[in-house]
Amino acid sequence: MDLGQIYQKTEKGYEEIRSRRFKLPKRPRTLLILVDGRTPLDLVLGQARALGIEDSTVFELIGQGFIAPLGAGAVEAGLADSDPEERFRSTQRFMNESVVNALGLRALFFTLKLERCASLSDLRELMPAYQQALAKAGDPVQAEVLTARLQLLLARGAEP
């Protein structure tokens, strides 16, 4: 397996995020959220390890059809991420998925704030509320790792 490869969620992966239909346990679900179609696998696994998620979990997600590698040639497009609207939407989606995963229904008020955001600047301003919401989940390591990922996504999407 090429650790520099970029993986993305499949339709089944998105279905799990939306509805919890396949009832993934918490750690594999968290890894599924970390897979964003823009970050190389080695960086995703590094963040997952910090959360106590074993590398073998990625093989489970691949084997069960929740994630798949991006095709050759699409890797550069995923890294370039040139569409500002897509950068905004994917960052907003990450924030929503990670908070809902951590808090469940208790994420409602944060989600309402998130839906009012219209730009990456708005998402940056929501960072303290994001950190506070994750802190409510009671897992400081998870909050730290997810906040670091969000900072990376926001830095990649820096508006001129």
The whole-number pLDDT of residue 3 equals 75
**pLDDT higher than threshold 90 for residue 160:** no
Which is nearest to 32 in space by CA: 63, 57, 4? 57
**Strands in the chain per DSSP E:** 7-9, 67-69
Task: Tell whether pTM > 0.85.
Answer: no
Question: pLDDT band at residue 28, thresholds of 50, 70 and 90?
Answer: very high
Average pLDDT over residues 58-71: 91
Cβ 16 vs Cβ 32: under 8 Å? yes
If residue 146 lies in a helix (H) or strand (E), which one and from where to where? helix 140-156
Longest dimension (CA), the chain: 41
CA dist 153 and 92 (Å) reads 10
Buried b (16+ CB within 10 A) or exposed e, 99-138: bbbbbeeebeebeebbeebeebeebbebeeebeebbeebe
Q: How many CB atoms lie within 10 A of CB 46?
A: 14
CA dist 130 and 150 (Å) reads 9
**pLDDT higher than threshold 90 for residue 75:** no
The upper half-sphere exposure of residue 74, i.e. CA atoms within 13 Å in the direction of its Cβ, equals 12
Q: In this predicted model, what pLDDT tens digit does every residue of 78-118 receive, in sequence order?
A: 444 567 888 899 899 999 999 998 998 899 999 999 999 99
Percent helix, strand and coil across the chain, each to the nearest 5: 70, 5, 30
The whole-number pLDDT of residue 159 equals 44
**pLDDT higher than threshold 70 for residue 126:** yes
